[in-house]
Amino acid sequence: MPACLGGEVALLAVATGLWAACGGAPGGAARRVLLVLAALAMGVQSGAMLAASPALRPSTYLTGTLATFLMRGAGGLQGTADRWVPVRLLALAAGAAATAAVRHAAPAWAAALPSATVAAGLLTALPRRRMNPREPGT
């Protein structure tokens, strides 16, 4: 999965660079290239989720989170309550608001947020190397 997320970060970094080069207002061919890069990044992310577990079938994160939240609220899903669903919805709204604010204040930097958040996710997915002071070479 880290390799997939690394690929996604690379695609988003290229998109961020192109977005910034266009001053935050891409048009024509640049807009189409950005669309292709974003679509590829989303596909890589879906592949990473499938690689992690077939149970994590790709669907849009917002759609899945919202459907789960509404179904649990309506009593349509039985089982343990997932108290993190409302938190995820709030985080999505906060991320959208942050991106809109950056887009308004500094349009050339608006595309940096997706690559930064995926890079942060990648760092949490990387295996941690334990440091043992008694072990030689560490």
Q: 61-71, pLDDT tens digit by residue?
A: 666 667 766 76
CA 44/CA 10 separation, integer angstroms: 11
Write down the mean pLDDT value for the chain.
79
Decide if 136 is inside a domain.
Answer: no
Can you say whether residue 83 is alpha, beta or left, with left for phi > 0 and alpha for psi between -120 and 50 degrees? alpha
* For residue 84, pLDDT beyond 90: no
The predicted model gives 123-137 an average pLDDT of 67
**Res 136 pLDDT > 70:** no
How far apart (Å, rounded) are the C-alpha atoms in residues 1 and 49?
A: 8
Helix (H) / strand (E) containing 66: helix 61-73
89 is a domain residue: yes
- At residue 110, φ and ψ (nearest 5 deg) are -60, -35
Stronger pLDDT, 131 or 106, i.e. the higher one: 106
Amino acid (one-letter) located at 123: L
Please tell me the distance from the alpha carbon of residue 1 to that of residue 45, in angstroms, as a whole number. 9
Q: Is residue 103 part of a domain?
A: yes
The residue range of the domain holding 8 is: 2-125
* Total of domains in the chain: 1
- Within a domain: residue 134? no
Residue 42: band (very low, low, confident or very high) from pLDDT cuts 50, 70, 90: confident
